[in-house]
Structure 1
Amino acid sequence: MADWSGLTTDVLEHITSFLPFPDHYRFGAVCKNWRSVSKLRRHPPAPQLPWLVLDEESETKKRKFYSLSEAKHYSIEIPELHGRYICGSSYGWLFAIDIKITCILINPFTRECYELPPIPAYNRNVDFITLIEDVPSDYIEGPRNFTLKEMQTRSVFKAILSHDPKERPDFTAMILFGEINTPAFWRPGDSSWTVVDGPKCRFEDVLYFKEKFFVITGMNLLHVVDFELAGPKLKEIGLEIGQDGYPQQTYLMDFNGNLLFVERFCEYVQELDKELDLTVGFNVLELNLEVNYFCEWDDIDDYAMFLGRNSTIFFYSGHSPNCKKNGIYFTNVTDGFYGCYDLGIFDMTDKKISKFYSNEVFPRVGAPIWLSPNPW
């Protein structure tokens, strides 16, 4: 019988280049020699479908993840995430906010972490000093106030990074915060978030594209963040976007250097013995900023798109037999009254929606969010 433990380092390293990162850990458990090779980490893991970040286990407080490639759940002990709400995902990092409305940026697999400044106060009707945890807001008379648990899930709508902090220590973090999702940014070394001056309207999404941050309003007006002025401001781009109808949510996406605008449409349907607001379709448009023109796309070739409160994620279907090409994988738009239940795959070819997960209803705190595994 061959002595597999005696394989040379170069052969073993070549083998690891074909393994997704969960198999790297299994590989290292075989024997001492294989474990030493697995720790070298000279080759990145094989491409793997995004993971779904779920809520934490009530008893152990471990964070639950769902691997789409393996159709398997993992429970991982990450003390930094205990009791935190995940409000953003970018380059394999998570933005997580706690009950005190403080936020961290963490890689859940390496446990590298950045402490971020407090989220800017935004609601003139809320006094952060006098907020009382767990007091139902229905009991508060006068202007609308929020409990700390409500503030935890409402403070930040989305958070993204300009670059992977492992590759660019001079990265920029951008959030949409507050009642109208006001843009604000932070860079390592800053003592606070800098709020971007702009129109007082609701913003739907933010994207870092070709060295610039873009935001889109609820009226489908595109703006770019101008950092060159004395104070960062939003500059409107003269492009009227959109098709007929009223989308529930819109997204900005970077697909191989193409700026895409995605409209998501929902309808109330009877399901799970309740009337739920469920996704029924998407429109995908390409924006050409040089000539102020947009056109509709019927497909995204052999790729899949992953939508949610995460940064742009596209995945080449040839890297995984479990990936549905030309599909849009989506999670809940927001934390609904009944929790998070709107998960599925929209096929851009036949316009049908299928399930990639069960009909389980997730709690309001801990909405599923896509994460690109970044374990190195």
Structure 2
Amino acid sequence: MEPIKPTVAPSSKTLLQHEPADGGDAASGTIGGLPFHLTESILRRISPLGSASFAAVCKSWATTISERLATPTPHLFALEVLDEDEYFLDLLFLPDLERRRGAIFSEPVDDEGSPAPVIPARLPAMVSHAKDDNIKLSGALPCGGLSFAEDNRVVLVNPVTGAFQSIEMYPPRHRLLIQPTVRAVAGADAFFVSQYFERTVTLRWREEEWSEQNLLLPEEFTRSDAIDLVAYSGGIFYAMEFFGFTHTVDTRAPPPWRLTRLRAPSILEQYSPICRYRYLRNSHLLESEGKVMFVGPVLTPDEPLCPKTIRGFEVYKLDLELSRWVKVKRLADDRALFVSQQSSFSVRASETPGCRGNCIYFVSEFDETYIQDTWGVYSMEEQKVLFQGPVGGSPGKYKAARWFFPRVGASPVRTNCANSGKKRNFQML
């Protein structure tokens, strides 16, 4: 077969030839010699994360791919559902085999079916070899790391590179008691740690290093684990407890900090709780354009033997001046929302490839007995779900799905290692 040769044409940007990585002639038939508009068309059909492996094709491709990766785009991470028979077989005969696996997906853009994983996730041994009841996925942080809670620590993992970092959340002596709940904070590299049966919580956050601050709960709190949702915006942490009231922690004020209840009424006075649940299950708190947003799902009517599915969403914006929640009918400024447990954020649709404005990209984890996570897209303008299906295309194949921003490059992050008492450099995201 004759090699592919470039067409001789007048010099123009449209027909600019790529320079092969080895410095050879573009007419050698390599894919690096394709016209500019063809290579651009090829790369546009591949997600930025999925195209990373093609950077070695030629210098032009490497430049184009680097530009695409410079602005991270939302992806979905999900854990594979562990087959118990396979797990015990691996435990007996293949102890070194990674058992906990995950995958990374690009966002769904239509109803043609759930896309295949872009790349498999890279999880360290302490995560992949642990059983579900020992270490659990909590949420994702803006730095690109997924947080796994285990005993008295959190393990931050970059699922693209496999880099990880272990952070001690509370003293080891508490291991014999009921374990506190660690919640990732939407919009910040921070955690709220709820101490059961105590009227205090611990706030852990990172700038260059991890810092810690204990917070005293208001008198109306009976237990610290009442906090359900936590978000960060403009130097203030917002914490919503399951009765729907919102409290704040202003980090701009001198310490000691404390949770202060806002005068705004409970969100439950406007948003109806989900079915029979008395708390805000599967709801979300996040920041968008400097405003704190509450996003709550509306479910389809109950049907016997059928998992619950999302019919729509109610969105509210916190008006601090008037101390009230205001219902939002349209997302302003070309915005789209991505919501999942302990990992929710907003993006500009025009700056996010494949993303539709005025839409909510969601993950649903309503009924754990079905072990079936679904994801989809809801249009605020059309007031209908445009797409909804099981993560990975097959019911029950994936669980614990979280939206996050993948980070390909690694950069050192300085942090405190509580176990050794020394400062160490960790290759993170």
**The one of 344, 347, 372 aligned to 2:405:** 372
Partner SS, residue 355 of structure 1: strand
**Which amino acid letter does the alignment assign opposite residue 76 of structure 1?**
A
Q: Does 1:173 align with 2:206?
A: no
TM-score, structure 2 length as denominator? 0.63
Q: Is the 8 A contact 1:176 1:203 kept in 2?
A: no
Match of 1:353 in 2: 385
Judged with a 3 Å threshold, the aligned counterparts in structure 2 of structure 1 residues 270 and 251 are, in CA distance, closer, same or farther, namely same
1:288 and 1:244 mapped to 2: Cα distance?
16
Matched, 1:160 2:194: no
Distance of 1:72 and 1:363 partners within structure 2: 12
SS of 1:357's equivalent in the other structure is strand
The one of 212, 218, 236 aligned to 2:261: 236
1:63 to 94, 97, 102: 102
Report the counterpart of residue 265 of structure 1 in structure 2. 298
* Residue in structure 2 matching 1:79, options 99, 121, 124: 124
* CA distance, structure 2, for counterparts of residue 270 and residue 318 of structure 1: 38
Give runs of ≥4 in structure 1 deviating > 6 Å: 178-182, 189-192
Return the match for 2:140 from 74, 89, 92.
89
Q: Is the 8 A contact 1:103 1:117 kept in 2?
A: yes
1:294/1:191 CA distance change after superposition, 3 Å = closer
Counterpart Cα distance in 2 of 1:87 and 1:363: 19
Query: Which 5+ residue runs of structure 1 have no aligned equivalent?
Result: 131-144, 146-150, 164-171
1:25 matched residue in structure 2: 52
Aligned with 1:45: secondary structure?
helix
1:224 and 2:248 aligned: yes
Q: Is the contact made by 2:187 and 2:287 (CA closer than 8 Å) also made in structure 1?
A: no
SS at 1:233 equivalent? coil
Q: Aligned to 1:4, what secondary structure does the other structure show?
A: coil
Larger Rg: 2
Letter in structure 2 aligned against 1:200: T
Match of 2:323 among 287, 292, 315: 292
In structure 2, the gaps of 5 or more residues are 7-16, 24-35, 83-96, 110-114, 275-279, 410-429
Q: State the match for 1:246 in structure 2.
A: 273
SS at 2:230's partner residue? strand
Residues 53 and 355 of structure 1: CA distance in aligned 2, closer, same or farther (over 3 Å): same
Q: Which residue of 2 aligns with 1:184?
A: 202
1:221-247 CA-partner distances (Å, limit 9, x unpaired) = 111114546543210111114315224
**Aligned pair partner of 1:280 in 305, 311, 318:** 311
The residue identity in structure 2 corresponding to 1:339 is I
**Deviation, structure 1 residue 162:** 5.9
Return the match for 1:107 from 153, 158, 173: 158
Please give the secondary structure, in 2, of the residue aligned with 1:88. strand
Q: 1:46 to 1:173 in 2, by over 3 A?
A: closer
1:265, 1:331 → 2: CA distance? 13
Aligned-residue offset at 1:173: 1.6
Aligned length: 332
